[in-house]
């Protein structure tokens, strides 16, 4: 595929209760991205937003975000999935040649709504929803159990992921304060409240308030706008079947296929050697392990053995990942921004050395039913 | 740089007030089957990606694509969900176009599906929540809930459409009879469209004017129904399209532009000054789409139009704003039969949204019907040959307009 440039990005500080308006937050994110790139409102030709009517508690949740998101009299649309999927639509629009600058923003304010209750509306309305035994949390419990049983992975190894991400988040000033913990131990994670056995509270990426924005431009314009654009060289997305009983929860078919498509587009043959850092949207600690394997960064069942610390063999989620703060509709977008920061050397205290190629993923649905993966490259 | 995109097929489910014989997934599968039936050489294996959408609040299911994956044949395929309110169908069709034109490796045939099963929930409650945010702010300014509901959200979409109708009537000096005439034309057309909802072959202007007001000037008989239904469109590249069907319809221009967001606006001020019949979004959308399609004189070059209009005043307004008629002349055109089936510029020969409104699907049914008219496969086919047609969508709070311009000839000039 033709490469598309990421020419700017901005993210607001993630907060558990932001206590200021959704629209102000969107404006802060989008205006910040445009300002940082040295652009003006008139340069925007298309805007793709990412919100969810259920999360925002209103029908047509993008209706009143037109002005604050820079969409006034611009060609605009909304993707109701993860922010990473909104970037996909922005990318498609740029590749069409119809547009020269796309603004993509996504985010939400779960301090205003019960996140896990709204997730219940994703379940089958006839068989699953009335009893609510199957919901996003219990599904994660099934997923973690399936993974542990199949490969003999221990709870401690899963808890390690939560520990690593929460320690990483402590270095990221924009991460959720409640998720930042320099001194957390595996014991703390395992002793926290049980959400759905074996998933405990500290293994969950807690929903929080936040909005992020990203600017995309075709290669030629990108070079004019900035000296160090980040290039999207590959993208893949995929949806697997719905019913949990029809799926192998110990792996992620959707991300595996998405990864295959993205690697193919970017010409990556051996991801383990070619990729220096990964930012994955892990809604739960065990998902990071499953995704690592689905993306061929580790053999099946061997992800816990991989050293994924910032200074490790293959750093995963040096920013703290989704466990470091999970604004619905914004998390996947933030993963792309964090991967871009790594490529630009802007990650500061959690910078990984020598990053040339990075990957970033997004997901929606129970046990990541629909996944998306980006391959990003730096340099000219 | 952007591949030329073609529509090779479009399909519909049967529409009715209550399709309680099917669930959402089955409803969608009806449209998908009808779409693929028309192109026998295409199977599910040939479809590389999906685009999908509806208005989730109306059925009470969030991201319903997740559980209806298998009903569309989307298992283990790339799927993207696009929703923009009333324009959802139009936005999904446009996203289908972009997915093909982007030319990602391995993706050339895309199935776009839009649907709504309103009988599963309460549409008016869903629509009222569009206004709630503003209502709470107005409450803090001392304006009572009672006054606001009566003014704005009473009757959901009709509440705001009535403003648009009166401002438009003020400019054009038309009567309710002119509005009723549009309704009669639509319902007569619907009677000849197999999938349409309100089929009334014998409806007269007097019948329409005999029904009570919902909100002045809109009477019960003028208002769109609430339907259950789905629509599917198949997009592919120019090269593949020629093998799939006899007359591929090329998508030459797309746009979806929003004006300021509301009659009231976020903070209850500022935007309230916007005249809802001014429609900057529609004007800008048509500028963009026509420029891409190389249409310089829309009135002369466009042979057929499907305009999204749940209410008759909107059909008059948008035919003008989309450049099909001079400002304020649309009512005259309807009177003279210009927009009738056998007229010079037939409009909404499917019966339009006024006769069938499965909200999420409606804005896709417009380009779908406009494409079928070019192929010569529409249910209520116009007698003249259609070379160029448009399909529009309306959504948001009177402000977002989607537009797709199609032709039997590919357009490459603009690049």
pLDDT in tens, B196-228: 999 999 999 999 999 999 888 999 999 999 999
Contact B69 A54 (CB under 8 A): no
Q: Mean pLDDT across the stretch B16-37?
A: 95
What is the domain-level CATH number for residue A100? Answer: 3.40.47.10
d(CA A242, CA A139) in angstroms, rounded, equals 12
Q: Are strands A277-279 and B213-215 parallel, antiparallel or unpaired?
A: unpaired
Contact B76 A78 (CB under 8 A): no
d(CA A13, CA A15) in angstroms, rounded, equals 6
A84 in any annotated domain: yes
Measured between CA atoms, how close is A350 to chain B, in angstroms? 33
Can you read off the two tokens belonging to residue B262? 């509301």
Q: Return all residues near B370 (Cβ < 8 A) that are at least 6 apart.
A: B304, B305, B306, B389, B390, B391, B404, B406
A216 in any annotated domain: yes
Can you read off the two tokens belonging to residue A246? 């029809």
All residues of chain B having their beta carbon less than 8 Å from the beta carbon of residue A79 are 80-82
Give the pLDDT score at B142.
63
Q: Say whether the peptide bond before residue B160 is cis (omega within 30 degrees of 0).
A: no
Q: Return all residues near B316 (Cβ < 8 A) that are at least 6 apart.
A: B168, B172, B174, B178, B179, B182, B330, B331, B334
A305 in any annotated domain: no
- First CA to last CA distance, chain A: 16
Q: Mean pLDDT across the stretch B215-242?
A: 94
Measured between CA atoms, how close is B30 to chain A, in angstroms? 19
All residues of chain A having their beta carbon less than 8 Å from the beta carbon of residue B397 are 60, 63-64
- Contact between A50 and A82 (Cβ < 8 Å): yes
Q: Return all residues near B336 (Cβ < 8 A) that are at least 6 apart.
A: none
A24 in any annotated domain: yes
Nearest CB to B95; choose among A77, A123, A243: A77
Contact A59 B80 (CB under 8 A): no
Question: What chain B residue is nearest to A265 in terms of C-alpha separation?
Answer: B105
All residues of chain A having their beta carbon less than 8 Å from the beta carbon of residue B288 are 75
The sign one gets for the Cα dihedral B280, B281, B284, B287 is negative
Our count of domains for chain A comes to 1
Selected for mutation to probe chain B from A46, A75, A110 (highest B CB count within 10 Å) is A75
Measured between CA atoms, how close is A229 to chain B, in angstroms? 20
Give the pLDDT score at B406.
96
Q: Mean pLDDT across the stretch B280-296?
A: 93
Mean pLDDT for chain B? 89
pLDDT digits (tens, 9 = 90+) for A242-289: 999 999 999 999 999 999 999 999 999 999 999 999 999 999 999 999
Q: Which of B351, B352, B401, B362 shows the shortest CA–CA distance to B116?
A: B362
Find the domain containing A24 and state its range: 4-114+208-225
E strands present in chain A: 4-11, 46-50, 75-78, 102-108, 194-196, 199-200, 210-218, 230-239, 277-279, 357-364, 370-377
d(CA A281, CA B75) in angstroms, rounded, equals 22
DSSP bridge pairs for A104: A48, A214
- Residue A265: HSE in the Cβ half-sphere, 13 Å Cα cutoff: 28
Q: Which of A97, A326, A90 shows the shortest CA–CA distance to A214?
A: A90
pLDDT digits (tens, 9 = 90+) for A349-363: 999 999 999 999 999
Question: What chain B residue is nearest to A92 in terms of C-alpha separation?
Answer: B102
Kindly tell me the burial class for residue B311, based on how many C-beta atoms sit within 10 Å of its own C-beta (0-12, 13-18, 19 or more): buried
Nearest CB to A237; choose among B78, B288, B399: B78
Measured between CA atoms, how close is B203 to chain A, in angstroms? 34
Selected residue with higher pLDDT from A233 and B279? A233
Contact A238 B76 (CB under 8 A): yes
Question: What chain A residue is nearest to B286 in terms of C-alpha separation?
Answer: A75
Q: DSSP string covering B339-389, please?
A: TSTTSSS-B-TT-HHHH---HHHHHHHHHHHHHHHHHT--TT--SSPP-EE
Selected residue with higher pLDDT from A113 and A26? A26
Give the pLDDT score at B269.
39
Report how far Cα A64 is from the mean position of its chain's Cα atoms: 24
User: Residue B146: pLDDT above 70?
Assistant: no
Q: Which of B168, B161, B166, B200 shows the shortest CA–CA distance to B184?
A: B200
Angle, helices A285-294/A136-151, rounded to nearest 10 degrees: 60
- Contact between A332 and A80 (Cβ < 8 Å): no
Give the pLDDT score at B265.
44
All residues of chain A having their beta carbon less than 8 Å from the beta carbon of residue B94 are 77
d(CA A316, CA A228) in angstroms, rounded, equals 23
d(CA B39, CA B158) in angstroms, rounded, equals 39
Contact A53 B55 (CB under 8 A): yes
Q: Which of A78, A26, A56, A72 shows the shortest CA–CA distance to B270?
A: A72
Question: For a pLDDT cut of 90, what percent of chain A falls above it?
Answer: 87
Give the pLDDT score at A380.
67
All residues of chain B having their beta carbon less than 8 Å from the beta carbon of residue A52 are 62-63
- Contact between B142 and B314 (Cβ < 8 Å): no
- Contact between A166 and A324 (Cβ < 8 Å): yes
Q: Which of A207, A200, A168 shows the shortest CA–CA distance to A184?
A: A168
Q: Which of A323, A244, A329, A228 shows the shortest CA–CA distance to A279?
A: A323
User: Residue B135: pLDDT above 80?
Assistant: no
User: Residue B397: pLDDT above 70?
Assistant: no
pTM here is 0.95
Selected for mutation to probe chain B from A53, A61, A86 (highest B CB count within 10 Å) is A53
Contact B69 A240 (CB under 8 A): yes
Q: Which long-range contacts (CB under 8 A, 24 or more apart) does A301-308 make?
A: A301/A150, A301/A151, A301/A152, A301/A153, A302/A151, A304/A153, A304/A157, A304/A158, A304/A160, A308/A161, A308/A164
- Residue A336: HSE in the Cβ half-sphere, 13 Å Cα cutoff: 40
Selected for mutation to probe chain A from B54, B78, B399 (highest A CB count within 10 Å) is B78
**Residue B189: helix, strand or coil by DSSP?**
helix
Measured between CA atoms, how close is B241 to chain A, in angstroms? 18
Contact B261 A63 (CB under 8 A): yes
What ranges do the domains of chain B cover? Answer: 5-121+225-407
Measured between CA atoms, how close is B138 to chain A, in angstroms? 15
Nearest CB to B105; choose among A1, A89, A366: A1
Give the pLDDT score at B130.
66
Size of interface A-B (CB pairs under 8 A): 208
Task: Indicate the helix (H) or strand (E) that contains B115.
Answer: strand B110-117
Task: Indicate the helix (H) or strand (E) that contains B409.
Answer: none
User: Residue A333: pLDDT above 50?
Assistant: yes
Can you read off the two tokens belonging to residue A8? 């700017």
Measured between CA atoms, how close is A103 to chain B, in angstroms? 14
Q: Say whether the peptide bond before residue A23 is cis (omega within 30 degrees of 0).
A: no
Contact B78 A95 (CB under 8 A): no
Selected residue with higher pLDDT from B414 and B307? B307
Nearest CB to A240; choose among B75, B266, B288: B75
- CATH for B5-121+225-407, among 3.40.47.10, 3.40.50.1820, 1.10.3720.10, 3.40.50.970? 3.40.47.10
Of all residues in chain A, what percent are helix, strand and coil, respectively (each to 5)?
40, 20, 40
pLDDT-based confidence at B270, cuts 50/70/90? very low
pLDDT-based confidence at B120, cuts 50/70/90? confident
Measured between CA atoms, how close is B382 to chain A, in angstroms? 32
Angle, helices B88-101/A83-95, rounded to nearest 10 degrees: 60
Question: What chain A residue is nearest to B94 in terms of C-alpha separation?
Answer: A77
Question: What chain B residue is nearest to A51 in terms of C-alpha separation?
Answer: B83
Nearest CB to A239; choose among B59, B79, B288: B79
User: Residue B261: pLDDT above 80?
Assistant: no
Give the pLDDT score at B388.
96
Nearest CB to A63; choose among B1, B280, B397: B397
Residue A304: how many other CB atoms lie within 10 Å: 18
User: Residue A221: pLDDT above 60?
Assistant: yes
Measured between CA atoms, how close is B325 to chain A, in angstroms? 22
d(CA B205, CA B83) in angstroms, rounded, equals 36
Contact B256 A370 (CB under 8 A): no
- First CA to last CA distance, chain B: 9
Give the pLDDT score at A19.
83
Give the pLDDT score at B129.
66
Nearest CB to B57; choose among A59, A92, A258: A59
A49 in any annotated domain: yes
Residues, chain B: 415
Give the pLDDT score at A114.
87
Measured between CA atoms, how close is B140 to chain A, in angstroms? 15
Give the pLDDT score at B268.
41
- Lowest mean pLDDT segment, chosen from A60-64, A171-175, A367-371: A60-64
A372 in any annotated domain: no
Contact A98 B292 (CB under 8 A): yes
**Residue B402: helix, strand or coil by DSSP?**
strand
Give the pLDDT score at B89.
96
b/e map of A255-283 (b: 16 or more CB within 10 Å)?
bbbbbbbbbbbbebeebeeebbbbbbbbb
DSSP bridge pairs for B231: B12, B114
Question: What chain A residue is nearest to B256 in terms of C-alpha separation?
Answer: A75
All residues of chain B having their beta carbon less than 8 Å from the beta carbon of residue A134 are none
Give the pLDDT score at A56.
83
């Amino acid at each position: 595929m033709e490469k598309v440039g990421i020419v700017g990005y901005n993210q607001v500080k993630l907060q558990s209760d932001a206590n200021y308006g959704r629209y102000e937050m969107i404006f802060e994110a989008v205006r910040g991205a445009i300002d940082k790139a040295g652009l003006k409102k008139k340069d925007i030709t298309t805007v793709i937003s990412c919100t969810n009517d259920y999360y925002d508690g209103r029908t047509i949740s993008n209706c009143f975000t037109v002005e604050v998101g820079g969409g006034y009299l611009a060609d605009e649309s909304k993707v109701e999935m993860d922010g990473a999927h909104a970037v996909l639509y922005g990318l498609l629009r740029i590749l069409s040649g119809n547009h020269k600058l796309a603004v993509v923003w996504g985010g939400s304010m779960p301090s205003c709504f019960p996140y896990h209750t709204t997730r219940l509306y994703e379940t089958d309305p006839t068989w699953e929803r009335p009893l609510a035994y199957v919901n996003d949390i219990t599904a994660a419990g099934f997923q973690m159990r399936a993974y542990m049983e199949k490969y003999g992975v221990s709870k401690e190894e899963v808890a390690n992921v939560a520990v690593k991400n929460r320690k990483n988040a402590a270095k990221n000033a924009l991460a959720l304060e409640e998720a930042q913990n320099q001194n957390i131990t595996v014991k703390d994670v395992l002793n926290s409240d049980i959400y759905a056995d074996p998933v405990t509270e500290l293994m969950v990426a807690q929903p929080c308030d936040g909005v992020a924005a990203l600017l995309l431009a075709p290669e030629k314009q990108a070079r004019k706008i900035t000296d160090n654009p980040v290039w999207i060289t590959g993208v893949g997305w995929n949806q697997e079947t719905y019913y949990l009983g029809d799926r192998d929860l110990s792996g992620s078919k959707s991300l595996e296929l998405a990864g295959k498509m993205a690697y193919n587009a970017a010409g990556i043959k051996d991801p383990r050697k070619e990729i220096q850092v990964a930012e994955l949207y892990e809604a739960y600690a065990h998902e990071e392990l499953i995704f690592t394997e689905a993306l061929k960064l580790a053999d099946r069942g061997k992800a816990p053995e991989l050293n994924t610390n910032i200074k490790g063999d293959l750093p995963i989620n040096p920013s703290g990942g989704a466990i470091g703060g999970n604004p619905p509709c914004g998390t996947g977008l933030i993963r792309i921004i964090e991967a871009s920061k790594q490529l630009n050397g802007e990650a500061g205290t959690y910078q990984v050395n020598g990053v040339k190629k990075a990957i970033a993923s997004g997901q929606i649905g129970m046990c990541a039913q629909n996944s998306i993966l980006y391959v990003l490259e730096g340099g000219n | 740089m952007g591949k030329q995109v073609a529509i090779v097929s479009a399909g519909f489910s049967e529409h009715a007030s209550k399709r309680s014989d099917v669930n959402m997934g089955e409803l969608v599968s009806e449209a998908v089957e009808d779409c693929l039936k028309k192109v026998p050489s295409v199977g599910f294996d040939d479809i590389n990606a999906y685009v999908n959408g509806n208005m989730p609040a109306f059925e009470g299911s969030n991201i319903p694509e997740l559980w209806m994956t298998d009903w569309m044949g989307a298992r283990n395929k790339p799927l993207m969900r696009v929703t923009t309110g009333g324009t959802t169908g139009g936005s999904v069709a446009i996203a289908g176009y972009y997915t093909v034109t982007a030319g990602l490796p391995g993706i050339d045939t895309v199935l776009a599906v839009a649907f709504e099963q309103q009988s599963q929930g309460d549409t008016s409650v869903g629509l009222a929540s569009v206004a709630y945010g503003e209502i709470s702010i107005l409450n803090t300014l001392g304006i009572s809930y009672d006054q606001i509901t009566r003014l704005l959200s009473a009757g959901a979409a009709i509440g705001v459409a009535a403003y648009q109708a009166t401002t438009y009537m003020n400019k054009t000096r038309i009567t309710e009879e002119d509005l009723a005439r549009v309704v009669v034309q639509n319902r007569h057309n619907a009677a000849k469209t197999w999938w349409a909802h309100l089929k009334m072959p014998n409806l007269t202007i007097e019948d329409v004017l005999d029904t009570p007001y919902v909100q002045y000037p809109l009477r019960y008989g003028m208002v769109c129904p609430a339907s259950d239904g789905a629509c599917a469109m198949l997009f592919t590249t120019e090269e593949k399209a020629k093998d799939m069907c006899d007359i591929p319809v090329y998508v030459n221009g797309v746009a979806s532009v929003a004006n300021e967001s509301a009659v009231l606006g976020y903070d209850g001020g500022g935007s309230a000054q916007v005249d809802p019949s001014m429609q900057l979004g529609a004007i800008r959308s048509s500028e963009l789409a026509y420029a891409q399609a190389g249409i310089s004189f829309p009135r002369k070059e466009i042979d057929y139009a499907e305009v999204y209009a749940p209410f008759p005043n909107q059909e008059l307004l948008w035919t003008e704003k989309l450049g099909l008629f001079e400002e304020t002349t649309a009512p005259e055109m309807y009177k003279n039969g210009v927009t009738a089936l056998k007229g010079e510029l037939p409009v909404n020969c499917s019966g339009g949204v006024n006769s069938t409104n499965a909200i999420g699907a409606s804005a896709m049914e417009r380009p779908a019907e406009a494409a079928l008219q070019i192929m010569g496969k529409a249910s209520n086919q116009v007698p003249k040959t259609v070379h160029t047609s448009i399909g529009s969508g309306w959504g948001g709070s009177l402000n977002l307009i989607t537009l797709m311009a199609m032709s039997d000839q590919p357009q490459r000039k603009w690049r």
